[in-house]
Amino acid sequence: MSEGWQDRHVLITGVAGFVGANLAARLQQVGATVLGVDVVNDSPCLRVLKVSIPLWVADVTDPTQIRGVVGHLAPECVFHLAGSSHIAASQARPLEALEVNVQGTWNVLEACRQLSKPPTAVVVASSNHVFGSLPKARVPTCALGHRAYPAIKQDSVRQAWLEDDPCQQTDIYGTSKGMVDLLVRSYGAMGLPVAALRHVNCFGPADPHRSHLVTGTICDLLEGKAPIIRSDGTPLKAYLHVEDVCRAYLLVAESLVNGAILPGAAINAGGSPISVLALVNMILGLSGSELVPDVRGEDASQSGYVEILDDSRLRSLGWAPRPLHEGLLETYNWYKEHGGAQWLSQ
């Protein structure tokens, strides 16, 4: 794999989803032979990105199904993206979220471990959400290595979550992803070349979820509606274009192969932090709209939320995200060309 991705057999679980479909498209661009596993055999994400791959219908929570698929395909590399990715839905259906995120992960890792020739790299989707909000003076101050957007109000010394900081989020989604990180560490200790990628909020083409801030804001604007902010606008987070996330996945896999990342590691992929209100205003400016955000302040749990990841390790390996405004403009134009959310019904 260190020689490149050409003709490498790569398996993606959850390939029909937003990130999975984009990752499949990216891997095809670099010459890989992409194989997919999902609970469905098609999706709007795959169709709109024109991704046509062999796709096996299987449930990651079923060990027999997953052992069968992985054993049959014997992939050289695995990206395990299948899981419950929504915080509210995970909280509403905790057992379901734990089964798909935790049990699904150990099923995939165990299936890979039992192969006579295990994959040379397995990369598992974790989450920035494992940490929760940054308390003041909780973690050592560290250089982010990149400039934050000036729209951020620097009312205190900003710090960042380091990769070895404890996973202390208490909601079901954050807890389940923290357990995923522990599974990755354990299987790495058993000799499986596996790592977890914790990336921040993701946006870009073929995102079917209007509940996501960037996607919802763009679709609202294209429909002539004022974008809704359910928090008070103060949460401070980072956002990455899906192409930057896909490049991070590939780099982590390559680094497992060449030894730059050790098995069992959890790697952060962050970006320049920006407040929710500043982000929405940036999209408004890029679109040329004169609408004003509808700041409702309904979600009090997000007030004052601060989430910044130290991603210096990934950057030292050669990864760097594009400027936020460039990715947002490209995404806005993509949705405009595809009729807002109309592509979902095509």
The residue with greater pLDDT, 189 or 84, is 189
Query: pLDDT value at position 272?
Result: 85
Residues 20, 37: Cα–Cα separation, whole Å: 10
Query: pLDDT value at position 214?
Result: 97
Instruction: Report yes or no: 314 and 269 within 8 Å, Cβ to Cβ.
Output: yes
Residues 185, 294: Cα–Cα separation, whole Å: 43
Query: pLDDT value at position 244?
Result: 98
Give the rounded percent of residues in the chain with a pLDDT score beyond 70: 92
pTM of the model: 0.91
Q: Which two tokens stand for residue 346?
A: 């095509």
Residue 85's pLDDT band, with cuts at 50, 70 and 90, is confident
- CA–CA–CA angle 291, 212, 225 (5° rounding): 25
User: What average pLDDT does the chain have?
Assistant: 89
The per-residue DSSP string of 301-327 comes to: GGTT-B--B--HHHHHTT--PPPHHHH
Query: pLDDT value at position 165?
Result: 80
Residue 145 has pLDDT above 60, yes or no: no
The single residue listed with the structure tokens 């914790």 is 198
Which amino acid, 78?
V
165-189 in b/e form (b: 16+ CB < 10 A) is bebebebbbbbbbbbbbebbbebbe
Strands 239-241 and 201-203: parallel
Query: pLDDT value at position 149?
Result: 34
What is the mean pLDDT of the segment spanning 174-198? 96
Query: pLDDT value at position 147?
Result: 37
Polymer length of the chain:
346
What phi and psi, each to the nearest 5 degrees, are found at residue 169? -65, 140
Residues 331, 325: Cα–Cα separation, whole Å: 10
Residues 296, 122: Cα–Cα separation, whole Å: 42
Residue 135's pLDDT band, with cuts at 50, 70 and 90, is low
Roughly how many angstroms between the first and final C-alpha of the chain, as a whole number? 36
265-301 in b/e form (b: 16+ CB < 10 A) is bbbbbbbbbbbbbbbbbbbbebbeeeeebebeeeeee
Residue 241 has pLDDT above 50, yes or no: yes
If DSSP codes are grouped into helix, strand and coil, which group holds residue 95?
Answer: helix
If DSSP codes are grouped into helix, strand and coil, which group holds residue 87?
Answer: helix
Instruction: Report yes or no: 141 and 157 within 8 Å, Cβ to Cβ.
Output: yes
Query: pLDDT value at position 103?
Result: 97
Query: pLDDT value at position 3?
Result: 55
Residue 111 has pLDDT above 70, yes or no: yes
Residues 39, 317: Cα–Cα separation, whole Å: 34
Residues 145, 150: Cα–Cα separation, whole Å: 15
Residue 144 has pLDDT above 50, yes or no: no
The residue with greater pLDDT, 341 or 10, is 10
The single residue listed with the structure tokens 């380091």 is 162
Query: pLDDT value at position 116?
Result: 95
250-272 pLDDT, tens digit per residue, is 999 999 999 999 999 999 999 88
Residue 308's pLDDT band, with cuts at 50, 70 and 90, is confident
Residue 184's closest CA among 126, 128, 132, 257?
Answer: 126
The residue with greater pLDDT, 52 or 169, is 52
Contact partners, residue 3, CB within 8 Å, separation at least 6: none
Residue 137 has pLDDT above 60, yes or no: no
Residue 112 has pLDDT above 80, yes or no: yes
Which of 168-177, 245-254, 286-295 shows the lowest per-residue confidence on average (mean pLDDT)?
168-177
* Consecutive H or E run containing 159: none
Q: Which region holds residue 245: left if phi is over 0, alpha if psi is between -120 and 50, else beta? A: alpha
Q: Which region holds residue 43: left if phi is over 0, alpha if psi is between -120 and 50, else beta? A: beta
Strands (E), 55-138: 55-57, 77-80, 121-125
Residue 32 has pLDDT above 70, yes or no: yes
Instruction: Report yes or no: 106 and 82 within 8 Å, Cβ to Cβ.
Output: no
